[in-house]
Each structure stands twice: as C-alpha cells, then as structure tokens.
Amino acid sequence: MTRFGIIGAGHIGSTLARGLVDRGHDVVISNSRGPASLQELVAELGEHAQAGTVTDAATRGEVVIVTVPLKAYQEVPVAPLVGKIVLDTNNYYWERDGRIAALEEKTTTTSGMLQEHLPESKVVKAFNHIMSGQILTDGSPAGTPGRRALATSSDHADAVAFVTALYDEFGFDTVNAGPLSESWRVERDQPAYVVRQDRDELEANLARATR
C-alpha cells in the first residue's frame, strides 16, 4: 500500500482520497485553507486519512497528487517533492486561471509547466480527462468488454507504470500518450477530453487531436 499526499481537496482531490482509502491506501490531504477545514472530510474517510498542510502532504506522501487550479501551480512546494512521482490532474481554464501565454501559443503543456516547476520530480498526467463523479463509478474489472480507458503521459517510465497500475486499481485501462510534450492531446477541447472511451477509442482520439 502507498501513502499518498494530496494537494488540493476539491472535487477531484476528495474523490481520489475516497477511492484510495477504499483500496487500503493512506492519504494525507491538504488545501490552501488549512487542516481545520478538512476535519469533516477526513472523519468521513476514516482511519486511513489525515488532514495536513500542503507541506505535510508533500513531505509525507510517498507519491503526491497535485490537483489545484492551474493558476496556483507555482505554490506547490518544490523541495519535499524531489525524487517523487507527482500525479498532475490539472487542466487549463482561462476563465478561471487567466490567460497563460505559453499555453495560448501552444509552446508547452499544463503538465510540462508543473514539471518545469518541479525539475527533480517525476510528473505524470493522471485523472485529468474524466469527470470527478465518474472516477468511482465507471471502473470495471480488467478484461471487461468496453472497459473505460484513461490516458497518461510522462517523461519517466516508472511514473507511467505507477499510474497504469493505479488506473487498473480504479477499474480503468491505460493508454500512454507519450512524453509530457504530447500531453496536450488529452487536454481541454481535444477529442479525448471527458468522454467515455475504451482503449481503442482513446488511442484514436489521441491520434485525432490537433493544436
């Protein structure tokens, strides 16, 4: 079992926390408002969950999930995440995040920005193109016909392998979209974004993506 740090306790963060503790993992969950604001959530999640500061989650997590608004990605602590696999669920919503020139000009990706901020971490895209309400409901056993697939992307093979195993725990097949430079293929407004698709359909949607 893995101890996960979760930075961000919104819809995705709290849903993943619930799914992780249900699978026997430990979580340290945090948000920008502090541990006191998360006491009701961790009480509901049970003994495998603890609330902490953002630094606590980053430090104590063996693997860390970053699920904050993209505009706040530079507030993620760097030093505690050195050498760790960091799952990035972030998406760019200019209406919320403001216009980000490098993304508007398509010279980087959302996960590429986080990797640049965390140069000694192993950033991997995960759970960014599924609605939070479907994370715990759409999974099915391996081998199920039409099993839903999710994409991942990283410059680190061990991070891809970790997410592949984690997706399977949650009941999803995996398609590797390649390095972070290709992770735009599963970002907002692309064919693979927040639609239900099996492995073959996801591979086709990734191939159809255009910038």
Query: Do 126 and 166 meet the contact criterion of CB atoms below 8 Å apart?
Result: yes
pLDDT of residue 180: 98
pLDDT of residue 148: 98
pLDDT of residue 197: 98
Q: What is the mean pLDDT of each run of 10 residues along the chain (211 residues)?
A: 97 98 98 96 97 98 98 97 98 96 96 98 98 98 97 98 98 98 97 98 98 90
Identify the H or E element spanning 49: strand 49-51
Side by side, the strands of the sheet bearing 63-66 are: 49-51, 26-30, 3-7, 63-66, 85-88, 122-125, 149-154, 173-176
pTM: 0.97
pLDDT of residue 6: 98
